[in-house]
Amino acid sequence: MKEPMVLIVDDEKNIRLTLSMALEAINITVDTASTGEEALEKLAEIPFKLMLLDLKLPGMDGLEVLRRVTDKYPNLMTIVITAYGSIEVAVEAMKLGAVDFLQKPFDPKAVRDMVRRVLLSAPEGRPAKKYEYYIGLAKQSINAGEFEVARVYATKAAFLKWNRPEPYNLIGGICEVKGDRQDADKNYRVALDLDPTYQPARKNLERVTSRPYTRMGIAWD
């Protein structure tokens, strides 16, 4: 029997079954755990490549599990599972080292696509932990109109490379879309403080401070 590649950690039996079936359909071997404590025991025994981790667990919660495994198992990648709309929790998890996040409810195809993307990125320099990877995902999400998802990816990019202007410009644009002109202004100014020659942020700042103001024409890149 092949050693399992993915550990699924969720206290709901139906979720564990759904995720297991989704991944086994593409020949990915899995194991499961229903608590954070059980997950840590299994991680100590098997070198999993990927963990799907629900953040809301009984006893030790998912964020605590993530804190404990990030440094101890540097080759393990983690996709966290959050309730729909729990964007701030997803941001915190990404800062702690998660490589991606799923929001409930999810469909099996979305799970397979994300797991494929993360696992395929692993061998060659681990793109799933690199700045450019998250900037790309943020822009894809913006193009799809998924602005809150894009904010998580842009924040992850800024966390990985705090001195680059692109993620702050993207976050500024997302703030504008959400109607928060003040935070948009702040993020555009951060981008320009980091790189005064970065034209998308300059154009956006000029527009967001203009009279009359228009949200049309956000320069994403």
Question: What pLDDT shows up at residue 120?
Answer: 75
pLDDT value, residue 127: 57
Domain with CATH 3.40.50.2300 in the chain: 6-126
105 preceded by a cis bond (ω within 30 of 0) = yes
For residues 97-108, average pLDDT: 90
CATH code for the structural domain at 130-221: 1.25.40.10
**Mean pLDDT, all residues of the chain:** 90
CA distance 201 to 168: 8
Helices (H), the chain: 13-24, 36-45, 62-72, 87-96, 108-121, 131-143, 147-160, 166-177, 181-194, 199-208
Query: Fold for domain 6-126?
Result: Rossmann fold (3.40.50)
Query: Residue 125's pLDDT band (boundaries 50, 70, 90)?
Result: very low
- This prediction has a pTM of 0.86
- Residue with the bigger pLDDT between 187 and 27: it is 187
Pairing of strands 30-33, 50-54: unpaired
Taking only the tens place, the pLDDT of each residue in 60-93 is 999 999 999 988 998 899 999 988 667 888 899 9
Q: Are 164 and 192 in contact (CB under 8 A)?
A: no
CATH 1.25.40.10 residue ranges of the chain are 130-221
d(CA 33, CA 40): 9
Q: What average pLDDT score do residues 111-123 get? A: 80
Q: How confident is the model at residue 35 (pLDDT cuts 50, 70, 90)?
A: very high
